[in-house]
Amino acid sequence: MQFDLLTIFPDFFHGPLEYGVVARARQSGLLKVNLHQLRDFTHDLHRTTDDRPFGGGEGMVMKAEPIWECLQHVTGAAARVQRHLIQPAPARVILLSAQGPLFRQADAWRLAAYQQIVLICGRYEGVDERVAEHMADEELSIGSYVLSGGELAAAIVLDAVARLIPGVLGHEESCRNESFGGGAASSEPDEPPLPGILDCPHYTRPVEFQGWEVPEALRGGHHAVIRRWRLKEALRKTRRHRPDLLPEGMPAAWQSLLREIEREAGPPSEDESLP
């Protein structure tokens, strides 16, 4: 799989690319990452990539021309103007933008199916809207806040997608048996994973530390008991931290465990019941 990152700060990515899963994926040849300096696609003495906004206002806006030329260089394709009349380009071009829909784990899985992903890192007040309208296939945001630029967002998308490439993680099921992956959604080993809830708690040695013990269910070696405990605790954590992730039409086993969790929790405290 190949990532192409369009940025005016390529050195920003040296850290994210040289450590952990992404670094191992690059070393093994499963992932290729190309950094493209947008200033190399300008034609003025100062290598200008931004200009004042039409209509006035604060800040500067990233120019469309350098991004256009860089995309032509990267994808080897003419632009996506009037895309509904042209065959889709083989690369998926994404503009990192505070105006885009929220990037979720489902998007990471979707993007992992592509052979090439191009990430455009915006800066300044924003990017000329013609980039979003005619050059990018989609916009993505990593949250409801504003960053100085798209580089941090690009690093997050890159990491989230790269770890889903087959062979990158040590165990093929690792990326499913975690938050949003769905692996904890089933209490039976042969049932397919269901999407979306948080991962269950994890423990390692020692069994006892500072008086805090590993739950007995995980220490007995009974696989059915362990599966049930993990599903229940995943549901408990999701109910507590991200109730919005609990899907409608949950399996009967989920509903039964949630009722257990609610009984164990008891009535809400006075503070919890306050609006």
Q: Supply the pLDDT for residue 138.
A: 96
Alpha helices in 18-150 (DSSP H): 20-27, 64-75, 105-111, 129-130
* Angle (deg, nearest 10), helices 223-241 and 252-265: 70
Q: Which residues of 102-250 form beta strands (DSSP E)? A: 116-121, 126-127, 138-140, 208-209, 212-213
The phi, psi pair for 241, rounded to 5°, reads -100, -35
Six token digits for residue 92: 């998926």
Q: Are strands 92-96 and 116-121 parallel, antiparallel or unpaired?
A: parallel
Domains of the chain: 2-162 (3.40.1280.10), 183-266 (1.10.1270.20)
DSSP-assigned beta bridge partners for residue 209? 212
pLDDT along the chain (275 residues), means of 10: 98 96 96 98 96 92 96 74 48 94 95 96 91 96 94 98 92 59 48 68 94 95 95 95 91 95 84 54
Q: Supply the pLDDT for residue 93.
A: 96
The answer to pTM > 0.85 is no
